[in-house]
Structure 1
Amino acid sequence: MKRRRVGAVMTGDVVRAQGGTPAIELTRWMAEFGINGVPVVDGDDKVIGVVSATDLERARRTGGSSPDRSARTLMSTPAHTVRADDSVVRAARLMSSYGIERLPVVDEEARLVGMLTRRDVLRLFARSDEEIRAEVIDAIVLRTMWLDPAGVDVSVRDGVVTLEGSLDTSGQAAALVGMARMVDGVTSVVDRLAHRRTGPWRGPERGKEDDARPP
């Protein structure tokens, strides 16, 4: 299946702060660049925290937003990060789990290479129902599971995938539902699949893949 990676949708030119960057400068950057969060890095460009607009507002309300306050004292830690080769789905789930709007993207040595925002994720997931249906049929039904598309009905409405039909085993049906849930843009899957027997799905038998491929 085609999996969108963070590196393909992240912003590479990232405004970043050092631990000693003053609060007034962070506020100015957010206003000037239209952003609501700034990653904080150390001398090796490794992410050590993130200062959000919420952090600045909280400090202001408690009387702690004086110009001498720095990013180090305002930032939220630890910083939740993702790698460029992580899937966008994983990043979206991380954002949802921690209730955050942005994720610094780091390389294998934890150095900052980009930023992924919730807006980037939503833009990617704004796929048409037709695109989602085509991917489920082509990438899963045909290329991964080698099923006859005539035996599986796939419909999509507002990102909700409905699967109907009769498959060989319960494991085969469960695998199809699970893979459909992983397609970018899918919000949920309605399982109306029947199966002829209880058992696992082992994939196409070796040596019979050409016979199993639908015409």
Structure 2
Amino acid sequence: MVRLLADHRISGLPVIDEDDKVIGVISETDLMVRQAETPDPFDPPHHSRLAALTPAGRRHTAKAQARTAGQLMTRPPVTVHADDTIVEAARTMAKSHVERLPVLDEEDRLVGIVTRRDLLQVFLRSDAEIREEVVQEVLIRTLWVPPTGIDVSVTEGVVTLFGQMERKTETEIAASMTRQIDGVVDVVNDLGWRQDDDRLRPDEQALHGVTGDWLRRS
């Protein structure tokens, strides 16, 4: 395991079973615990016995005595699926305080690894690239809104949407979809609307096309 980490210049390894399903993860920290655990002549014998009484102490002792990947790995693994968004992966990584995430396919089998460095690369996108995606993917292709009708500005990843749309729900969709775009740090929604369709009865709402489908799924 140490050779794999050194040869590939990586800091962690997923552990898989015979079906290529991830059952745990091994980090440099796990290996350091294993290698560094040696008897300390200055450590009172009762100290190690007391530490082993706690759950954390027992896990530490087990890792220190491990001889295989299965014994050393941390479980359960924190993973993401291949179709999860970059934002979802970043949130999972931050919430779980991990530096890498095994990526699974639809059958929960390992297909890759995403690291903090991979995620940080996304946020190096230029403001111009982000603006182009907001205009093309959100306004034109999803909401069918002429790009000249809405002002989109991006400054250091913060997207500001300004203008007036036909319905209130469209402004909410525009802001929500923009937040999911890779590289977007925040969204300032200054969009207005002509019709507050939140107040209409379901049978009166003018839902149609892609916008209606998006609302029903959300």
Which interval holds the TM-score relative to the shorter structure? 0.7 to 0.9
Aligned to 1:38: 13
Q: CA deviation at 1:156?
A: 0.3
Aligned to 2:54: none
- Identify the range of structure 1 (128-137 vs 81-90) with the bigger mean alpha-carbon deviation: 81-90
Runs of 5+ consecutive residues of structure 1 not aligned to the other structure: 1-25, 207-215
What is the aligned partner in structure 2 of residue 194 from structure 1? 192
Find the structure with the greater CA-based Rg: 2
Which residue of 50, 53, 60 corresponds with 2:25? 50
Distance 1:129 1:28, change over 3 A: same
Give the unaligned 5+ runs of structure 2. 39-60, 199-204, 211-218
Q: State whether structure 2 residue 108 is matched by structure 1 residue 110.
A: yes
| Match of residue 145 from structure 1 | 143
Check conservation: 1:145, 1:204, Cα contact below 8 A. Answer: no
Between stretches 47-56 and 118-127, larger displacement belongs to 118-127
Pairwise CA distance, 1:53: 1.2
Distance 2:86 2:153 in 1: 24
Could you tell which deviates more after superposition, 66-75 or 175-184? 66-75
**Partner of residue 212, structure 1:** none
C-alpha distance in structure 2 between counterparts of 1:90 and 1:131, whole Å: 20
Q: Which amino acid aligns with 1:47?
A: V
Shift of 1:173: 1.4
CA offset digits 1:5-45 (Å, max 9, x no partner): xxxxxxxxxxxxxxxxxxxxx23322232111011122333
Where do 4+ consecutive residues of structure 1 move more than 6 Å?
Answer: none
Could you tell me which residue of structure 2 aligns to residue 177 of structure 1?
Answer: 175
In the aligned structure 1, how far is the partner of 2:120 from the partner of 2:133? 18
The residue that corresponds to 1:13 in the other structure is: none
> C-alpha separation between the residues in 2 aligned to 1:111 and 1:163?
40
Please give the per-residue CA displacement for 1:86-144, whole angstroms capped at 9, x wherever unaligned. Answer: 33332222212212111112334333222221212222342111011011111111121
Aligned partner letter, 2:162: E
Quick one: structure 1 residues 53 and 143, their matched pair in 2 at CA, closer, same or farther if it must change by over 3 Å? same
Q: Over residues 55-99 of structure 1, what are the superposed CA-to-partner deviations in whole Å (9 max), with x where a residue is unaligned? A: 223445655576853322221111122333333332222212212
How high is the TM-score relative to the length of structure 2? 0.72
CA distance change for structure 1 residues 139 and 205 in 2, over 3 Å: closer, same or farther?
closer
Tell me the percent identity.
46
Aligned-CA RMSD value? 2.6
**TM-score (norm: length of structure 1):** 0.73
Q: Do 1:145 and 1:203's aligned partners in 2 also have CA atoms closer than 8 Å? A: no
Alpha-carbon distance between aligned partners in 1 of 2:11 and 2:29, rounded to the nearest angstrom: 8
What is the one-letter code of the residue matched to 1:41? I
Aligned length: 181
What is the alpha-carbon distance in structure 2 between the residues aligned to residue 202 and residue 175 of structure 1?
Answer: 15
**Distance between the aligned counterparts of 1:51 and 1:144, measured in 2?**
42
What SS does the corresponding residue of 2:197 show, helix, strand or coil?
A: coil
Q: 1:98 aligns with which of 92, 96, 99?
A: 96
Equivalent AA in structure 2 for residue 70 of structure 1: T
Amino acid at match of 2:142: T
SS of structure 2 residue aligned to 1:143: helix
